A and B are shown apart, each in its own frame.
Chain A
Amino acid sequence: MLNIIYTFWITSIASELEYRLNVIVEIISLIGNIAGTIFTLFLFYQQGSNVGGWDFYSSLIIVGIYTLLEALTISILHPNLSQIVKHIQDGTLDYVLLKPINSQLWLSLRKISPWGMPSFIAGVILIFVGLSKNNIIIGNLEIIYAITAICSSFILLYSIWFILATTSIWFVKVWNINEVLRSTLVAGRYPLTAYPPSLRTIFTFVFPIAFLTTVPAQALIGTSGHQNILLSLVFSISLFIISILFWKYALRFYTSASS
């Protein structure tokens, strides 16, 4: 199994490196994004010293976690999940289904893109800056909590994305899910409590952005109880299981684009 994923990734990195100019474009867009976010935060904090109970440097931690998730999105989620709709449209899903391998695994891990690396580094730096400026010394427990929370966020995001992409088996052209999802994710750049209560409810229950960034950040700062982390873990694993079942169900309706 690991051997298969290793071969997948080696070939997909080789394929990405065929286009060298991409590196520069990705790095420029990353710098632009982070600068924009920090500038917005900076404007917020000009007036008051905290937004929704978060001070500037604590918010940086959230931006850091957001950037980290963005890195995973660029490296793993986007290259794979955004292709699902295309596979279904073109009928190349046939080749995936004909291989003696779990098709969801293939569709989710077939590719990896090295362009998430800069974001990953930037995310880690932002988190450290946020932590050190706040004079927070994190213990092992917080690290375990935070890593668990970030993993749950990732699984959560993956499952939602995968489920939405699966619906293209029926609808074939799913109105650019990828873009909608990514732009909704942007809401996770700011602390949940910064939003008005109505939006907060939506971001917790309808589109669980709260779990994506705020909970992991709270875990790091130590303001989150373990119930929240447990909740986010349970939530993400359940959605993951649903995504598996849903995919199996949907395949029965696959008609394989005609040739």
Chain B
Amino acid sequence: MSKIEVRALSKSYRVAAKKPGIAGTVNHFIYRRTKEVLAVDNINFKIAKGEMVGFIGSNGAGKTTTLKMLCGLIHPSGGYLRVAGFSPLTRDKKFLRQITFVMGQKQQLIWDLPPLDSIKVNAAIYGLSEKECSNRTYELASMLDLGDELYRPVRKLSLGERMKAELLAALLHRPSILFLDEPTLGLDINAQVRVRQFLSNYNRKYGATIILTSHYMADITSLCRRVLLIDKGRLLFDGLLQDLIQKLSPSRSVIIELNSPQPIEQLSEYGEVVEYDKNFVRLLIPRNDLTSKISSLLIKFPIKDLEITDPPIEQLIGRLLS
């Protein structure tokens, strides 16, 4: 049974249409013109229990709006929504106990107090006993590698520490569905890796369903096998990340290091030469005849080293969206 089911989901907003400058402002004050903006346009998908799915798309594509509809924060303009068997809109308490929403740019921790105080507030709201609260806190803290930080006022924590504490507070009630909106925003590489490892452990340990948006493709590639690509409110792709890459780039990039420079004309018979710098050459070779091309390359040219990679996914998606 699918944990999340979305059919023909749409959301439109009325936004003010205002011209810049003083004249525009005065004009806007008197005659308020608004226009309808379609943030999410007829989206369909299903997500099974325990899946980790990545939402990708440029800024303003409708990812966050979709997440907010899935957890019942905003009302859809149309369509059918079921999350854990509930209609999110009703904000049923049983539903809210099963989900959590972590937003990289908003925080729920009390600024002036140590995270433990916020954790206690959450424990009271979710009706956890003191013992249960401290057990879970201990467990999550060790998964997240948090210690002393829990006793320091939030305002004194680094961004990475604060995010980890946010995750702890958001997961205290052991939700089975996690909505994560840019959970690694602004974190350094180490902290990003920690958060990723934690999420993947949490997913394995509790069989939680995780939907994640991120601008760091590394988050998506290391966590999600399946991705949903959204652009201008429309779902452009729903499937395995590997298939998306295949679809977006029919070629792979081959970097060769030669013993001596070779004429570019000869090399370009094998594929498109993207970089050419004396002994270093980067070629794009179609996936279909990759092996045959490479074996003949190895025979014909004095090759010292060879590396086959996929073009960076950011580039691929960027190219698709532009």
Taking Cβ atoms with an 8 Å cutoff, the residues of A that contact B are: 3-4, 6-8, 11, 14-15, 18, 90-92, 94-95, 97-101, 252, 254-256, 258-259
List A contacts of B122 (CB < 8 A): 99
List B contacts of A3 (CB < 8 A): 124
| Interface stretch of the complex, out of B50-58, B95-103, B245-253, B286-294 | B95-103
Shortest C-beta distance, A8 to chain B (Å), equals 7
List B contacts of A7 (CB < 8 A): 120-121, 123-124
Establish whether residues B96 and A95, one from each chain, have CB atoms under 8 Å apart when the complex forms. no
Establish whether residues B106 and A92, one from each chain, have CB atoms under 8 Å apart when the complex forms. yes
C-alpha gap A7/B129 in the complex (Å): 13
Establish whether residues A15 and B68, one from each chain, have CB atoms under 8 Å apart when the complex forms. no
Residue B215 at the chain A interface, CB threshold 8 Å:
no
User: Chain B 96-115, CB within 8 Å of chain A: the 1/0 string?
Assistant: 11011101111110101100
Assuming the contacts A11-B113, A92-B108, A259-B105, asked whether A98 and B126 have C-beta atoms less than 8 A apart, the reply is: no
Establish whether residues B74 and A254, one from each chain, have CB atoms under 8 Å apart when the complex forms. yes
Shortest C-beta distance, B150 to chain A (Å), equals 14
C-alpha gap A95/B308 in the complex (Å): 46
List B contacts of A18 (CB < 8 A): 112-113, 153
List B contacts of A252 (CB < 8 A): 75
List A contacts of B118 (CB < 8 A): 11
Establish whether residues B121 and A90, one from each chain, have CB atoms under 8 Å apart when the complex forms. no
Shortest C-beta distance, B104 to chain A (Å), equals 8
Give the residue of B91, B93, B106, B110 whose beta carbon is less than 8 angstroms from that of A90. B106
Establish whether residues A98 and B100, one from each chain, have CB atoms under 8 Å apart when the complex forms. yes
Residue B214 at the chain A interface, CB threshold 8 Å:
no
- Which residue of chain B is the closest to A17 with respect to CB atoms? B112
Shortest C-beta distance, B165 to chain A (Å), equals 14
8 Å CB contacts to A: which residues of B64-105? 64, 68, 71-75, 91, 93-94, 96-97, 99-101, 103-105
Q: Which 8 A-B pairs have CB atoms at the shortest separation, nearest pair first? A: A7-B124, A100-B93, A100-B96, A95-B108, A15-B112, A18-B112, A4-B124, A11-B117
Shortest C-beta distance, A22 to chain B (Å), equals 12
Shortest C-beta distance, A176 to chain B (Å), equals 19
- Which residue of chain A is the closest to B173 with respect to CB atoms? A100
Assuming the contacts A94-B73, A255-B13, A258-B64, asked whether A99 and B125 have C-beta atoms less than 8 A apart, the reply is: yes
Assuming the contacts A11-B110, A11-B120, A259-B105, asked whether A100 and B126 have C-beta atoms less than 8 A apart, the reply is: yes
C-alpha gap A90/B7 in the complex (Å): 30
List B contacts of A100 (CB < 8 A): 93-94, 96-97, 125-126
List A contacts of B104 (CB < 8 A): 259
Interface bin, chain B: 35 or more
Shortest C-beta distance, B194 to chain A (Å), equals 22
Residue B181 at the chain A interface, CB threshold 8 Å:
yes
Give the residue of A8, A91, A255, A258 whose beta carbon is less than 8 angstroms from that of B121. A8
Establish whether residues A94 and B112, one from each chain, have CB atoms under 8 Å apart when the complex forms. no
- Which residue of chain A is the closest to B155 with respect to CB atoms? A18
Establish whether residues B73 and A98, one from each chain, have CB atoms under 8 Å apart when the complex forms. yes
Establish whether residues B113 and A14, one from each chain, have CB atoms under 8 Å apart when the complex forms. yes
Q: Can you list 5 A-B pairs, Cβ within 8 angstroms, ordered by A?
A: A8-B121, A94-B101, A99-B96, A100-B125, A256-B73
Establish whether residues B74 and A259, one from each chain, have CB atoms under 8 Å apart when the complex forms. no
Establish whether residues B120 and A256, one from each chain, have CB atoms under 8 Å apart when the complex forms. no
C-alpha gap A259/B96 in the complex (Å): 21
Give the residue of A4, A101, A256 whose beta carbon is less than 8 angstroms from that of B68. A256
Establish whether residues A11 and B121, one from each chain, have CB atoms under 8 Å apart when the complex forms. yes
C-alpha gap A252/B69 in the complex (Å): 12
List A contacts of B108 (CB < 8 A): 92, 95
8 Å CB contacts to A: which residues of B131-159? 153
Shortest C-beta distance, A13 to chain B (Å), equals 11
- Which residue of chain A is the closest to B97 with respect to CB atoms? A100
C-alpha gap A171/B33 in the complex (Å): 15
C-alpha gap A223/B107 in the complex (Å): 52
Establish whether residues A256 and B125, one from each chain, have CB atoms under 8 Å apart when the complex forms. no
- Which residue of chain A is the closest to B181 with respect to CB atoms? A259
List A contacts of B96 (CB < 8 A): 98-100
List B contacts of A15 (CB < 8 A): 110, 112-113
List B contacts of A258 (CB < 8 A): 64
List A contacts of B72 (CB < 8 A): 97-98
Establish whether residues B64 and A259, one from each chain, have CB atoms under 8 Å apart when the complex forms. yes
C-alpha gap A6/B121 in the complex (Å): 9
C-alpha gap A91/B67 in the complex (Å): 14
C-alpha gap A95/B122 in the complex (Å): 11
List B contacts of A101 (CB < 8 A): 93, 125
Give the residue of B71, B94, B107 whose beta carbon is less than 8 angstroms from that of A98. B71
- Which residue of chain B is the closest to A257 with respect to CB atoms? B106
C-alpha gap A111/B71 in the complex (Å): 26
List B contacts of A92 (CB < 8 A): 106-108
Establish whether residues B112 and A98, one from each chain, have CB atoms under 8 Å apart when the complex forms. no
C-alpha gap A158/B17 in the complex (Å): 36
Assuming the contacts A11-B110, A11-B121, A95-B108, asked whether A259 and B13 have C-beta atoms less than 8 A apart, the reply is: no
C-alpha gap A169/B265 in the complex (Å): 65
List B contacts of A91 (CB < 8 A): 106
- Which residue of chain A is the closest to B11 with respect to CB atoms? A255
- Which residue of chain A is the closest to B109 with respect to CB atoms? A95
List B contacts of A256 (CB < 8 A): 68, 73-74
List A contacts of B13 (CB < 8 A): 255
